Amino acid sequence: MSDMNNTLEDIHTSGCLGEKAEIFGSGKGNVSGSSSPSLIPLHGPLQPPNAQPSKTAVCKGNRKSEEGEETLLTDPFPNPFPELIPSTVSSLVSDCLLPWTKSGATQVIKVYNEDNTSRAVEVPTDITARDICQLFVMKNHCIDDHSWTLFEQLSHPGIERTIEDHESVMEVLSGWGMDTESRLYFRKNYAKYEFFNKPLDFFPDHMVSLSSETNGIMNHSQLIQTFLNSSTCPEIHGHLHAKEQGRKSWKKFYFVLRRSGLYFSNKGTSKEPRHLQFIAEFSDGDVYTLLSAKKIHGAPTDYGFCVKSTKHGSPRDLKLLCADDEQTRTCWVTAMRLFKYGLQLYQNFIQPHQKQKASPMRSISENSLVAMDFSGHKSRVIENPSEALSVAVEEGLSWRRKSCHRLSSHGSPSTSQSPMSNIALHMAQPWFHSKLSRDEAHRLITQQGLIDGVFLLRDSQSNPKTFVLSLCHTQRIKHFQILPVDDEGDLFYSLDDGHTRFTDLIQLVEFYQLNRGVLPCKLKHHCARITL
């Protein structure tokens, strides 16, 4: 990633942001030949207008409004020790802690979470989505892992999208019009910037056409660079279902996505300019996902998305599209975000990491860890991968035996009282969601990001005595049953029919966070719910 960061900085400083997209003809009919193009500048595909710098907010106090909702106060702190701190110093401290009080007008907004509980807060009118997320992270004492995200959900057409960190929240609210059912949601989105880390997982080879300058060969960092550099911009193509204007029917077309906009071919898979029909551009539009594509819009699958113009609020103006699978939809939606915001998204991605570098913390990379053997007179590095794996398995078994012995030696009940003790332990964990159905688990993981390692644990609906691990891998959600194992009166839990046993669910989760075992990938991100 360091090479990519240096290259991207060169792109930014060399003035590549002032690009112009080629839209041939009027943009409403066929695309003419490349001999006589008319250049139309796209205003802000990489740096959207009115992008506000990030601010840091400090919560001062709360009060209950008449409707029972909590409102953030922005009154300065009173001086609790006037004899120790002069009033001039106290006012200076208040000014430093309250940057929002200097920003002018404020407005009260309401934000929801997954269980539809809400909270009203008073914020300045120039606040960004990142500011809102930092406010609620601090307000709810959450761990700021840079995955908290603000979502815009329009209930009437049944669509939602990620509000980018740099976007002005008030500009988003101003586009709602009279739709009182529209909401802001605060929740995790682990996939928000994951394409910067694993771009090849988001952009399959069969959907991406590269320019001749790259010779069709590209690594992870180079693929992202082509999205951010207008001279080597890739092209996304493939079949999508589209809803015909004014009709209930859907029809399959071959679509082509370029920086100049979205097109479909009226003759098979032909990309000739005379066969490409213009659909939408992104300088004045946003891409949304459909919440219930089949139920609300009659789509052939549930992997729907749409392009909504910021100038027109009518649901009839939505360009409704539908993919055959989640990976295809993710590719189109991610590419549209990159085409619209470009380098601004990368700046949003690296900004939290730059702040962390300013305050260095000790960290250990997995690549710096080696297997060691301390059984002999002298310690040695285990270089044979097979030997290292067998040692790791043996240490895991020894660790579990010691854990069982420790629990029994301290008087912890190992028979009838052990299940109740275990339940009391895992019920308080943030990854355990108790009586959550299979469909609700699927929806929660989808909302918080379809990337490898997103997981949660829940009670089994079919067997009350068992539990289920719901895990995302390759943008698919899989469910693994956790079975209780009775060994001479001692209760254990296992994912592999008793071959690997754990005294409680906490031990099971911690083990699979470090070891893949029988799972397709390690447990990495747990689905968290908070109460606002």
pLDDT in tens, 274-313: 999 999 988 888 999 999 999 999 999 999 999 998 876 5
- List the chain domain ranges: 2-41+193-356, 62-187, 368-411, 415-526
Q: Which residues lie closer than 8 Å to 167 by C-beta, 6 or more apart? A: 48, 51, 128, 129
pLDDT for 398: 63
d(CA 97, CA 398): 52
User: What SS3 class is residue 284?
Assistant: coil
**For 258-318, where are the alpha helices, taking DSSP H only?**
293-297
d(CA 332, CA 345): 16
Please provide the CATH number assigned to the domain covering 415-526: 3.30.505.10
d(CA 274, CA 30): 5
Angle at the Cα of 396 from the Cα atoms of 394 and 400, rounded to 5 degrees: 120
pLDDT for 233: 75
Which of these, 341, 333, 282, 440, lies nearest to 129 by C-alpha position? 341
Q: Is 432 exposed, middle or buried (0-12, 13-18, 19+ CB in 10 A)?
A: buried
**For 428-499, where are the alpha helices, taking DSSP H only?**
438-448
Tokens 């900004």 correspond to 351
pLDDT for 338: 92
Contact assessment for residue 327 and residue 249, using Cβ atoms and an 8 Å cutoff: no
pLDDT for 526: 94
Say what the pTM is. 0.68
Which two three-digit tokens encode residue 23? 């839209």
Angle, to 10 degrees, between the axis of helix 385-409 and the axis of helix 505-514?
160
Class of domain 2-41+193-356: mainly beta
d(CA 295, CA 303): 12
Contact assessment for residue 296 and residue 158, using Cβ atoms and an 8 Å cutoff: yes
> CA–CA distance from 215 to each of 192, 209, 232, 348 (Å)?
29, 11, 11, 30
d(CA 56, CA 74): 13
Which two three-digit tokens encode residue 386? 């097979």
pLDDT, one tens digit per residue, over 395-451 is: 666 655 555 554 444 433 333 344 444 456 788 888 999 889 999 999 999 999 999
Q: Are strands 183-188 and 208-209 parallel, antiparallel or unpaired?
A: unpaired
> CA–CA distance from 147 to each of 51, 358, 509, 513 (Å)?
20, 20, 21, 19
pLDDT for 135: 93
d(CA 145, CA 149): 11
Question: Does domain 62-187 sit in CATH 3.10.20.90?
Answer: yes
pLDDT for 250: 94
d(CA 327, CA 329): 6
Low-confidence stretches of the chain (pLDDT beneath 70) = 1-104, 179-180, 211-221, 230-232, 312-316, 355-370, 375-378, 393, 395-424
CB 369: neighbour CB atoms within 10 A?
Answer: 8
pLDDT for 180: 67
pLDDT for 216: 52
